Structures are given as structure tokens and as C-alpha cells.
Chain A
């Protein structure tokens, strides 16, 4: 009632707009950022492994190694940030009731990401991808969007959960 009165006055007088300013726009959530970031971490493990298997490493290889490690760290932080925002802002009681595993899954993702950052270990990072895929699957289910599994069409060619948005 009061709101609709103010809304009518607003249409006539146009009140000044004030923003609460969040880092991301309201209601825009997508776990794809986290999925891409963990794929990047896996790809970096492969690239570091290629460097390791080289007979000799010149200064450029050393510089490349340094860049790769730095990028792996950066993408690990992105994984944590993206998952934390969805968990902290989007996931609420209705989603938790439907998927009680969400708190533990999110915590496991945090721990697994730390491990994947600390080590250059493809298996650990693939394990992280599996958890993030499960998180993505739950996320899309809560939005009544069907998902499908497919191998990403670029290195490191790992299985990813995609939303089926055609329906």
C-alpha cells in the first residue's frame, strides 16, 4: 500500500536513485567462472609437467614456470571467490533444505582449492573439478535448469557440467 503510493509519486516526481553498490550485480550468479578457473588450474598442471620433462630449462622456461605458478594461484583464488559468493549470497534455506550437502561441499571445495594451490598435482585439481561440477549441478537444479555433461572442447579436455538452456 505505502509502497505503491510512493511508486506513483516516484513516477511523477522521479526521486533520486541511490545504490547500495555490490561488487557484482544483484541476482547474477553463475558457477561457470569457477569451472573455467579450475580448468585453467588443471591446464597449468599439464604445462608445468611439460616444463619438468624438458631436458634443460633456459631462462625463458624459468620465467614461464614462474608465470604459470602465479596464474595457478590467481585462478585458485578466483575459484574460492566465485563459490563463496554463490554460497554466501544465493544459497539460502530453501536450497539448503533440498541439498543439505551444500555446506560441506562448499567447505570441501575451499580445502581442496588450498591443496590444489599448494601443490602441482593434477589429480588433486581434477578432484576439485569434480566437486565444483557437483556444486554447479546443484546450482542449476535449484534454478530448475537441466544440466548435461560434456568434455570441454579445449585443453585440458575435462568433463564439465553445462546448463541446458534450450528448454
Chain B
């Protein structure tokens, strides 16, 4: 079930960032709390649409449109038992 970020690993994020497709961001979701997902696209309203890395991730539609102010950081490094990986 694990995508590019293994379970119980550490994710380092930067609070200063630009929005790029396929980059991974941490954001506060009204239902799911603080979550980490990959940016799929930015719509015409400037809202962000995210997707998961694997089959059982919640869908973009379930996540819904995310406002830029909900995003708290861009993930750039993953530290897991498997090693250190740039995201």
C-alpha cells in the first residue's frame, strides 16, 4: 500500500514554495486533517487538486479542491528505514 513515502517515515517540508505539478505537499484538509499528497493540477479558479500515490489512496474527488492557504509546506526529503530520498 505504500507509495513513495513509506509508513512511519519522516517527511521534511519547506514553508516557502511554488506550486508544481507532481510535487508533494502537506496541507490541512477539513475532513482528513493534515495530509500529504501529490499535486495533480491547479484549476482555473486557482484551487489545487491532489492525488495519492497508490491504488487505495483516497481519490482526487474525495479530497476535493484545496485552497492555496491550506497548504503548509512542500515536502522535499523523505527519511525512512529504507534510506533518505529527495522528493
Contacts and interface: CB of A to CB of B under 8 A. Distances in A.
Interface residues of A, number: 21
Contacts of A24: 1, 56
A3 B80 CA distance: 6
Given A20-B53, A89-B56, A26 B84 contact: no
Interface residues of B, number: 27
A165 interface: no
Interface in B27-60: 32-37, 52-58
B5 interface: yes
B15 interface: no
A21 B10 contact: no
Contacts of B26: 18
Interface of A: 2-3, 6, 10, 15-24, 26-27, 84-85, 88-90
Interface of B: 1-3, 5, 7, 9-11, 26, 32-37, 52-58, 79-81, 83-84
